[in-house]
Structure 1
């Protein structure tokens, strides 16, 4: 007899409650092996690929791409004993057929401890009685069941994305391609035929649900802005010596194959300056009535990605050399832009740097990340007039801004820290005194 198990959405990181299904790697009828990647989801932290803990044959995809579901919700059904499955036959004479296969299971190891009782959904056979679902052993069916009880004709991910952007319900369309598959032309024709909704301006407006990384970022920034009393200070510095040192180090054997950026210098300066102003790396714990001083720096780097702003961390950055920081930054930003940052790498930061200069911006007033007490914004480096030993000269100039939590950091401490970072970037030789 068939042995059906349902795979629940796993808790991929502490505190996550929901995720969006980005895309399926399998279809009904596909054979799967233990730990095979079957689905990609987007949580509030990052895009994550989920493996399945069993081998068998996929019988149902319970959630369509683009849907957001809660942790623990069954998203996939697998027959783990396909060789023992007997072919389904229509019900006759009103006889009831087996309706459900029930299995209690736990999520993947390391993905949380929630226990889910998964029940296979019954379908109605002849005579109005439940009938077992046949296992698809060849081509996938033309329709995929959804948790809401509807059916969506097949469509490729780019077509689903287009339909979402244009506000077209795929369930209302008949696909014109072979097998009833919906095409881009089908979606565009449907969009053109739909009447304009009140308040909309045709194709000049589009509505996108607030979810995933964007939703999490918005909630965190609002909470921070209205919880921590922000103070922001600014400093303009001459970084010509830093840029000259960078050119020398780039051809040094120690930095071979490493992308040495001004951000790496800023990261090193930020960590060094904390030795003189440790309050910058402290945390206000209002629940326990304490200020927590941390002797390690988990350095967050704000990164813009196609899915929104993420802040992955460099662990124990205070113990890294300049070349190690440069390598870690390169790996971190590359992984973030690909949307492959593990959720665990988003947690536990103590201080953040945001590089607004990469967008050609001089400075800003950044909002502190929750769980931290300060954030440093690094501006663009520009050729500007600067007074050097009483003479006007063209120099490489950068602006810095520091936002800090005034509950933890007084104005004197914040000013001293920003000045120390500026001194290290203006003259890297100052690092010898730290």
Structure 2
């Protein structure tokens, strides 16, 4: 005879090595019937918003954590009454038991839908939790929805990008040939779609209206702790250079007119990134990390180039994997996608991990330059300022003259334990030289 059993789902380690997460929104309420792998809750970690699927099929008995509550990994968050615990969700083998597969970490299952309502559906937690049962090792992937009859025209990479950003292709105005939706259309639709539901902080206004209090949690909490640790661990040195990038901007205009770049938003940042990557190739220790425990400097085989992105949830630094292997077109597309994904609140934990060095573009805010703090674990970070038209001394065979030119300031902060002054100066100087004379890249 089958007996009804209450199973408790514990907040899992979502594969980021973190210890806690915020409950953003419950997708179910007490009394609802759920199925295995049905999304039941959105949680926000220090890096991303993750959807958690149910490991059990049955009726929701109790919500053991409230929306907005910070919950430690391993704590109970929901109780579900199942018809048969063993049939609904087989437990992992006990510790030391032979013959069973090693349990896998429960990781994020797709990006959250920015358009979902944040209306509270569940009740506040109350009462004691039922006995804990280990969640299943690897839930199945939720099957995709059936395609519409009037399926918009788009290439597979563009469809994948739209899915990641939560953009409905049917609602996108196509600009490609024969009504095809291109990458730039998806990015434009994503940027105009507003902020994700989870982005807005929940300030608490004082009774007299004199102040507003914003909870420190999620990305902002993680960023604050990381920046303090970085500032007081790595001895920062920052150097500056001012460079005439007129020729690089002329090259950008020329390249943008090429057919293969027609659907790509080609920004000056892509050229800065290419120049920086070339400079790093000469000083590979600029992408190294300091291993205090082993007393070693660890130099990676390649470069995962991070880009600091200001988002409604705080500063995020996703990175382009193996950026040193990409040409200008692929690098520009990767940068655009990283930024759009981050602003949409859909950056995955994988995209945040394994960075080698970072570029922060403060120029988008009209700032000339700054003294950036190293992303924890990295040796160098390049700040890119605003490009301004200024009078500049130009020297050629005819002599010197003053002309209006496009001028950019760069600042490189680096860990003086890993790089000495000469090496840091060479990285910054080589980057500036390639931006001043982009033709040097063929050497």
TM-score, normalization: structure 2? 0.73
Q: Does the Cα contact within 8 Å between 2:63 and 2:122 map onto a contact in 1?
A: no
Q: Which residue of 1 aligns with 2:376?
A: 370
Give the Cα–Cα distance (whole angstroms) in 1 for the partners of residues 31 and 437 of structure 2.
65
- Provide closer, same or farther for how the CA distance between residues 248 and 204 of structure 1 changes in structure 2, counting only shifts above 3 A: farther
Matched, 1:56 2:35: no
Give the Cα–Cα distance (whole angstroms) in 1 for the partners of residues 263 and 277 of structure 2.
24
- Provide closer, same or farther for how the CA distance between residues 148 and 310 of structure 1 changes in structure 2, counting only shifts above 3 A: farther
Give the Cα–Cα distance (whole angstroms) in 2 for the partners of residues 79 and 144 of structure 1.
17
Q: Does the Cα contact within 8 Å between 1:53 and 1:108 map onto a contact in 2?
A: no
CA RMSD across the alignment: 2.5
3-state secondary structure, aligned to 1:362: coil
Partner of residue 299 from structure 1, selected from 283, 286, 305: 305
Q: Aligned runs of 1:229-308 on 2, under 5 Å?
A: 229-308=235-314
Structure 1 portions without partners, runs of 5+: 83-102, 113-140, 150-156, 168-190, 197-201
Q: Does the Cα contact within 8 Å between 1:25 and 1:39 map onto a contact in 2?
A: yes
Structure 2 portions without partners, runs of 5+: 85-89, 94-101, 108-119, 129-195
- Provide closer, same or farther for how the CA distance between residues 420 and 144 of structure 1 changes in structure 2, counting only shifts above 3 A: same
Q: Does the Cα contact within 8 Å between 2:64 and 2:76 map onto a contact in 1?
A: yes
Pick which of 237-246 and 30-39 moved more.
Answer: 30-39
3-state secondary structure, aligned to 1:275: helix
What displacement does 1:405 show? 0.5
Q: Which residue of 1 aligns with 2:105?
A: 110
3-state secondary structure, aligned to 1:268: helix
Matched, 1:44 2:46: yes
Q: Which residue of 1 aligns with 2:388?
A: 382
Residues matched between the structures, number: 344
Q: Which residue of 2 aligns with 1:98?
A: none
Q: Note the alpha carbon deviations across 1:240-278, whole angstroms, 9 max, x for none.
A: 111111111112112121111111111111111111111
TM-score, normalization: structure 1? 0.75
Matched, 1:312 2:350: no
Q: Which residue of 2 aligns with 1:118?
A: none
Q: Note the alpha carbon deviations across 1:319-353, whole angstroms, 9 max, x for none.
A: 01111111111111111111111112211111000
Q: Note the alpha carbon deviations across 1:162-186, whole angstroms, 9 max, x for none.
A: 9x5235xxxxxxxxxxxxxxxxxxx
What displacement does 1:105 show? 6.6
Matched, 1:146 2:148: no
Q: Aligned runs of 1:14-413 on 2, under 5 Å?
A: 14-81=16-83, 109-111=104-106, 144-146=123-125, 164-166=202-204, 196=207, 202-389=208-395, 390-413=400-423
3-state secondary structure, aligned to 2:65: coil
Please say which structure displays the higher CA radius of gyration: 1
Q: Does the Cα contact within 8 Å between 1:10 and 1:108 map onto a contact in 2?
A: no
- Provide closer, same or farther for how the CA distance between residues 54 and 297 of structure 1 changes in structure 2, counting only shifts above 3 A: same
Partner of residue 3 from structure 1, selected from 5, 17, 28: 5
Q: Does the Cα contact within 8 Å between 1:281 and 1:372 map onto a contact in 2?
A: yes
Give the Cα–Cα distance (whole angstroms) in 1 for the partners of residues 283 and 121 of structure 2.
64
Give the Cα–Cα distance (whole angstroms) in 2 for the partners of residues 104 and 295 of structure 1.
40
Q: Which residue of 2 aligns with 1:85?
A: none
Q: Does the Cα contact within 8 Å between 2:363 and 2:384 map onto a contact in 1?
A: yes
